[in-house]
Amino acid sequence: MLEMARLVGTPPKEIILQTRAGNCVANNQACDPDARNLYIYNLLRGNHLAWVNRKLACGVYNCFGLVWASRRTAIYEERSVSQIIMEDGYRELRIEEQPQPGDVVVYLHLSGEIRNTLHAAVILKLEQRGPGKVPLLLSKWNDSCGEDIHEIRDVPQSFGNYVIEFWTDRQ
C-alpha cells in the first residue's frame, strides 16, 4: 500500500478555509520545492538584485495564501480570489486614496480586453522617493518560491503586460 502511495504521489491536501462570510474557499497545500524549482527561484532572484529575501523557498502556500490564508495553504482559482475580495469586505482604493501598509496589491495580466488575476502582495511600507512614495511589498511568487520584499514595479518579466489594483479592508 505504501509503495502505491509512493508511485502515485501524495494527494493534494486541502484545509478548511473560509471567507469572513463563512463560505468555503478552494485550496491545496503545495509540496516543498524540488531541486529544479529551487534552481529556477535562484535564477529569478539573480535577475532582481534589489529584492530582499524574507524567507527561504518553501511549499505549502502561494501569493494568495500569503495574503489571505496566513501562509497555511495555496489558493489557485481566480474565482476564489474574487470570492475572498468580495466576502471579506475589500474595496478597491479610489484614485485619490493613498495605499497604506497592510493593503493588498493585485496584479492583473492584460491580454486584449481580458484581465486575469496574476499575483497578490501585501504593502509593508511606503518609502519616500523624491516627491512621492513608493510601496514596498511582500510577495511569494509561486508555491515553491520564498518570500521577497520588493518595489511595486520590480516584478518577474514573465508578468508581461499587467495593471495594478490596490485593495483594502479599511473603511
Structural domain spans, the chain? 2-168
Phi/psi at 90 (5° precision) = -80, 150
11 against 124, higher pLDDT? 124
The mean pLDDT value for 97-122 works out to 91
pLDDT digits (tens, 9 = 90+) for 7-22: 555 667 999 999 999 9
In this structure, how many other beta carbons lie within 10 angstroms of the beta carbon of residue 143? 24
Report the distance separating Cα 144 and Cα 54, nearest Å: 14
Report the distance separating Cα 78 and Cα 86, nearest Å: 13
pTM for this entry: 0.91
CA distances, 136 to each of 23, 57, 70, 87 (Å): 31, 20, 19, 26
Burial classification of residue 159, based on how many CB atoms lie within 10 Å of its CB (0-12 exposed, 13-18 middle, 19 or more buried)? middle
Residue 110's pLDDT is what? Answer: 87
Q: Percent of the chain beyond pLDDT 90?
A: 88
Cell numbers found for residue 139: 510577495
Residue 4 has pLDDT above 60, yes or no: no
